[in-house]
Amino acid sequence: MTARFVYWMNVSVDLRIERDPDERGGGDWLHITENLHREFNARAAALSAMVQGRVIYDTMEAFWPNARDDESLDEVLREYGRIWTDKPKYLVSRTRTEAGHRTQVVGGPDAIERLARIRADGEGDIGIGGATIATQLLTAGLLDELMLFVHPVILSSGRPLFDPGAQPVDLELIEHARFEGDVELHRYGITRWT
């Protein structure tokens, strides 16, 4: 059986994942309610593993391992801390050679080929975090799905969902849902490479 690579991300209506450099997933434009975070937790818990680029991984590692047991945080945040820390992860990095929290470093010039083998030998959905790695997987024909949480804002500038040079693909809407704060989930299967 083959695993599936699912790129999931919070985005603006104009498909930006950051407004300002180094926002690292915490922009004030995000409308994340407790209910929406519970949805994130459920989706993350269902993944068989996660693949993250270094910037995303560094951001997650700086907060979530400590959040899992921090009684000053809401339970929904502590739960995500436990999910992230306990989930098998692959860190794609040219600069880091080791990482904790059930993380295997995948680096070097053959990183995409190694991820292709992980996908071929794996099962379930593997969550992808980070525009750089998602663009490389899309270009290599290895990305299977987009799971976008679209926030009701137009940023007009900032980091796009994919880096320049991503090839065109056809998508099929496979799920749509709406949450508090007018955030909408759009899940798309990649159906055909054009």
The per-residue pLDDT for range 102-154, each reduced to its tens digit, is 999 998 899 999 999 999 999 999 999 999 999 999 999 999 999 999 999 99
In sequence order, what E strands does 76-141 have? 89-92, 103-106, 125-129
Averaged confidence pLDDT in the chain:
94
Q: What is the crossing angle of helices 75-86 and 34-46, to 10°?
A: 20
Distance of CA 182 to the CA centre of its chain: 20
For the stretch 88-99, pLDDT in tens is 999 999 999 999
The whole-number average pLDDT for the span 43-64 is 95
- Domain spans, the chain: 4-193
Work out the number of other CB atoms within 10 angstroms of the CB of residue 11. Answer: 21
CATH of domain 4-193: 3.40.430.10
What number of residues does the chain have? 194
pTM of the model: 0.94
